[in-house]
Chains A and B, each alone.
Chain A
Amino acid sequence: KQEVTQIPAALSVPEGENLVLNCSFTDSAIYNLQWFRQDPGKGLTSLLLIQSSQREQTSGRLNASLDKSSGRSTLYIAASQPGDSATYLCAASGSARQLTFGSGTQLTVLP
């Protein structure tokens, strides 16, 4: 059974810093790896989706990478802003097309 882990559970950085969020998964037989953002008390918003044949995806200041062989994905946020403060979740999509989620990293960007 797929297990997805995100470390650290919480992260606090000063504004302007570049940062990396980590995600690891146990089963490399995935269709894709997705990163979501969740604001307090809200639903999830999809940020980036990396298909299994891809190595990375970029959207604005966000860059996500995927290394299936090592079971790892990273989300890189450049020049962080207070508006980036949220919980970031990664999710792996397996053969049943279901998503297995990590428990998230709560990011706080201090002004």
Chain B
Amino acid sequence: DTEVTQTPKHLVMGMTNKKSLKCEQHMGHRAMYWYKQKAKKPPELMFVYSYEKLSINESVPSRFSPECPNSSLLNLHLHALQPEDSALYLCASRQELAGGGETQYFGPGTRLLVL
């Protein structure tokens, strides 16, 4: 099973709201990712958690706050977002392969609209 789940599927929020995105995987992967994807563009990396510690922050504005409560769960807390933050937010988990190599498995995404 290579399933990554994300909730909610769709989210509409005002610029003063606080909301959270949730991502779960039960594949035993120890690295999890948040990506932002705008229309007709490839995903842009935002954050990487490895062994529940933040290992990469791609200079993301502080209105996005990631959290990794345990190895299966990843949250993205949103506060005071701007309309330009409207996008598809993708979560992924990383499988390390014996003998080298790795593979990322993506969730279905959360479509966020900021009004």
Is chain B found bound to chain A in the same assembly? no
- Residues of A whose CB lies within 8 Å of any CB of B are none
- Residues of B whose CB lies within 8 Å of any CB of A are none
